[in-house]
């Protein structure tokens, strides 16, 4: 079990970033991966030109890689921004403008998981008003995802790196999942269980898996400390993946770690080539 029992994909927004975006799918394929995921690639615009969308789709198709996860627009990532959907004013409007674009691209590429980062708290704005706006926009995103047969993912991040992000535990993210599903009646919102972020928050990962594996739509991993590849830190990731399997999780596991100073392709030595597809 463990690594050999999972289906892995590689996140092209944190791995292979030494290459231009359109060359990353081919690099992932050369490393043995057939599935990839992405944060919203156009960090400065929620509505890129059709030519840019088409070029990325062509790069994915030409490489023979399947896009299995995509973030909605969330501002500058990596960077201080953490989501736009709960930010009053222009950023919330940018998120709304992105919903149809992201869902359309997901439909065109066969992607069936869309991640919506909640959004940082804003000084001087009532958190309750931000939560109300978030529910409205998450419901919009959930409906767009439902229209293409996709799952809407809600993710908890970690306090040390994202102190103004309000979802800093698995229960906090699950609460939002429940609110969205109740508001829409669609039942297509699910938890994105990121073992790195939850470990940074000091959560009991085994207990989280037992409690929420059945509510989990996607899993992401990196080791801790350092957010490096498995084996570079102290997290018992192989054991935790076994526990996920035993708890009934059958989805993919996204590799969302920093490759270090070496080229990304050299960071996969922990995973036998035959288990990368």
Q: CA-CA distance, 259 to 101, in Å (whole number)? A: 30
Query: Does residue 78 have a cis peptide bond before it, meaning omega lies within 30 degrees of 0?
Result: yes
In the set 37, 91, 203, 256, the catalytic residue is 256
Is residue 123 among the annotated active site residues? Answer: no
What DSSP state is assigned to residue 246?
H
**Which one of 37, 91, 155, 243 is the catalytic residue?**
155
Neighbours of 50 (CB within 10 A): 9
**Residue in 108, 110, 119, 97 with CA at minimum distance from that of residue 45:** 97
**Catalytic annotation on 175?**
no
Whole-number Å distance between alpha carbons of 20 and 51: 16
E-strand spans in the chain? Answer: 8-11, 35-38, 66-71, 113-115, 151-155, 189-194, 216-221, 253-255
- 210 exposed, middle or buried (CB, 10 Å; 0-12, 13-18, 19+)? middle
Q: Would you please indicate which residues are annotated as catalytic (active-site) residues?
A: 155, 256
């Amino acid at each position: 079990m463990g690594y050999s029992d999972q289906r892995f994909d590689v996140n092209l927004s944190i791995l292979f970033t030494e290459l231009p975006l359109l060359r990353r799918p081919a690099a992932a394929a050369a490393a043995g991966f057939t599935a990839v995921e992405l944060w919203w690639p156009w960090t400065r615009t929620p509505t890129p030109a059709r030519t840019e969308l088409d070029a990325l789709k062509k790069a994915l198709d030409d490489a023979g890689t399947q896009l299995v996860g995509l973030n909605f627009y969330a501002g500058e990532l990596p960077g201080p921004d953490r989501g736009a959907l709960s930010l009053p004013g222009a950023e919330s409007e940018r998120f709304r403008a992105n919903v149809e674009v992201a869902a359309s691209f997901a439909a065109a590429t066969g992607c069936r998981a869309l991640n919506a980062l909640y959004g940082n708290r804003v000084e001087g704005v009532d958190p309750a008003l931000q939560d109300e706006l978030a529910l409205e926009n998450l419901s919009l995103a959930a409906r767009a995802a439902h229209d293409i047969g996709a799952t809407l993912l809600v993710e908890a991040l970690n306090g040390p790196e994202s102190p103004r992000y309000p979802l800093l535990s698995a229960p906090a993210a699950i609460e939002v999942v429940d609110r969205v599903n109740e508001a829409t009646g669609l039942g297509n919102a699910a938890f994105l269980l990121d073992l790195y972020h939850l470990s940074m928050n000091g959560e009991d990962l085994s207990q989280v898996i037992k409690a929420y594996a059945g509510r989990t739509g996607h899993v992401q991993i990196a080791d801790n400390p350092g957010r490096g590849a498995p084996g570079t830190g102290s997290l018992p990731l192989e054991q935790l993946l076994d526990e996920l399997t035993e708890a009934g999780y059958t989805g993919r596991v996204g590799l969302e770690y920093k490759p270090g100073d070496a080229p990304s392709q050299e960071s996969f030595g922990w995973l036998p080539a035959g288990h990368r597809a």
